[in-house]
Structure 1
């Protein structure tokens, strides 16, 4: 991971996935989507930890999700209800190989993207279709209305068994970095998109990060900057994430996939909007090159 390139290779970045009973994702002020109206949506899970993420089918054999969804190994496509059999629409696939972005940094949330290669191509149906990238990349302007979707817990803390969606408003990066928003902790870069409430209502998805996600046992620095922290063989950087099911799901603007749900702080807080990994020209080049190579 790039955040460790300039420090001792003995440092490890450990992701601890904390799953609360009965909690998956949160769609604040969202609504149930029409069944199979988002046929590219993927329900991504780990069969060992039972952690859950979202994803987007971008090719018959490839799903795009978040890099912090590290242990996922099974993908369900064509689902509306998770609990129902839906045998005529669901296709359950095993992940053949995971390809996290080579520059992903768990502490700073940089390049929080991962490609999942499925063990076999999906069958295209009314309920299962892939969402292809266009030839150009669009960075949505501040104020743009976009859509996010996922399964899990709603604002009343009850588990949603069906796919939910919500409209979110893009917040410009300068505002998102300001002291009343994220205050550069972490820095919202040009490869990230902030989106949430328009200021009049609360809309959000949840990918809760802990207040201080990086703990340095030796120095106890309250920072996510590796460069300011002395390095020893005993140092371990521990990154804590509360994995909720919207992580890795798509951010759609005018029907185009522009981002992947990455992180946020708490749920439904107007000045703590969700943060999404922007599928920039650089990221799109990596996606296409990886899919072509493997």
Structure 2
């Protein structure tokens, strides 16, 4: 159980002696942890998913003990690493048109079933067929704790933190074709015209591949692929931003959709696939809002969305897709632009957006990993 630390009145002033260096090379002072206000605030405001990350940072900053109270290398807040500004003009994305594996992504993807789209936060049974649930074995039981998206017949796209450093959990496999975990198959419509999806598929995992530069401390490069042990029957994948036009889409202020089975306002996982629509937020503004609770800044390989009251991705939605409807080869299709990475300690906190892995910066890595 997390404890709250009372902020000490003593705050290191400019007269403090610098006698240590942080992992980032910044000069700091070795003080009792309660005497470093911004580190105390990071710990107290960390979400459940960030507690391990912040704890790891504090271990790296440890510089001794006074009795049983740990001491940390406390750098002045004025020299903390600032948020990184996203700038299209300074970033050259790789040309994917001739990538050897571009043909492994299906041409038919992201179908928009206009007559089957559900209103509100409920989803239609046929609305998002690419959604996947990651199944974990924990103390002899199976639980779904992350999401993902089908990108072809053998691969699920998800977050790196969903496949590594799992503690006592083991990633067992993936469920696709699910909508309501209470029923199988899932159906909708009046009794005289009931339409049903095929039964869901539980498929074992062959292997998980996470980005080699993923950092559990900063959540940078929070992206992974799961190769399934056998192909999915009836592939219904989501589209990825492979074309130059899609990869150069200006996403700021766009409304995008997140769907998942994560925690609801009742603080319990949803048994039915739900969706929300949220605006993409400027990276610089997002970094300023989150800077006090992040161990590092927002980079150009991430994007932020949300900040609406009680409308947010939440625990259990990690790894799921952030998507929008766009024109792909003259047809309106769903295109995935982000992966749910992390968010505020309390989901749906007004003014605090969630952070997503930005797919445009990882498309070459995704393609490099694919095998027949």
The TM-score, its normalising length taken from structure 1, stands at 0.70
Counterpart position of 1:131: 238
Query: Distance in 2 between the 1:291 and 1:94 partners?
Result: 18
Cα distance between partner residues in 2 of 1:176 and 1:274 = 9
Match of 1:181 among 261, 279, 290: 290
Structure 1 residue 45 displacement after superposition:
1.7
Residue 316 (structure 2) pairs with residue 245 (structure 1): yes
- Matched residue SS, 2:133: strand
Question: CA 1:44 to 1:172, structure 2 compared with 1: closer, same or farther past 3 Å?
Answer: same
How many residues are aligned here?
Answer: 225
Question: Which residue in 1 is equivalent to 2:157?
Answer: 64
Query: Out of 327, 341, 363, which is 1:284 matched to?
Result: 363
C-alpha distance in structure 2 between counterparts of 1:17 and 1:248, whole Å:
13
After TM superposition, the structure 1 = structure 2 runs for residues 67-82 of structure 1, keeping only pairs within 5 Å, are 67-70=160-163, 71-82=170-181
Consecutive unaligned residues in structure 1, runs of 5 or more: 7-15, 19-29, 207-243
> What's the CA shift for 1:36?
2.4
Which secondary structure state, in structure 1, belongs to the residue aligned with residue 365 of structure 2? helix
Separation in 2 of the partners of 1:158 and 1:96? 30
- Contact 2:337/2:358 (8 A) holds in 1: yes
Deviation at 1:151, TM superposition (A): 0.4
SS of the aligned residue for 2:322 comes to strand
Q: CA deviation at 1:82?
A: 1.3
After TM superposition, the structure 1 = structure 2 runs for residues 1-294 of structure 1, keeping only pairs within 5 Å, are 31-48=121-138, 50=143, 52-70=145-163, 71-86=170-185, 88-124=198-234, 129-133=236-240, 134-136=242-244, 137-138=247-248, 140-178=250-288, 180-183=289-292, 185-197=295-307, 201-206=309-314, 244-254=315-325, 255-266=334-345, 267-281=347-361, 283-292=362-371
- The alpha-carbon deviation at position 273 of structure 1 amounts to 0.9
Identify the structure with bigger relative contact order (alpha carbons < 8 Å, sequence gap 6+). Answer: 1
Shift of 1:91: 1.0
The gaps in structure 2 that reach 5 residues or longer are 1-22, 26-47, 51-119, 164-169, 187-197, 326-333
Report which of the two has the higher share of helix: 2
Contact 1:36/1:79 (<8 A) preserved? no
Q: Distance in 1 between matches of 2:312 and 2:49?
A: 21
Which structure's residues are more often strand, by fraction? 1
Task: Give how far 1:47 is off.
Answer: 2.3
Residues 204/54 of structure 1: CA separation in 2 closer, same or farther (3 Å cut): same
Distance in 1 between residues matched to 2:153 and 2:200, nearest whole Å? 14
SS of aligned partner of 2:137 = coil
Q: Answer yes or no: is the 8 Å Cα contact 2:256–2:324 preserved in 1.
A: yes
- Deviations along 1:38-81, whole A, 9 cap, x unmatched? 01000112123635100000010000000001242211111011
- The 3-state SS of whatever aligns with 1:176 is helix
CA deviation profile, 1:107-156 (whole Å, cap 9, x unmatched): 010100010000111111xxx51123232324543211000000032113
Distance 1:159 1:80 in 2: 13
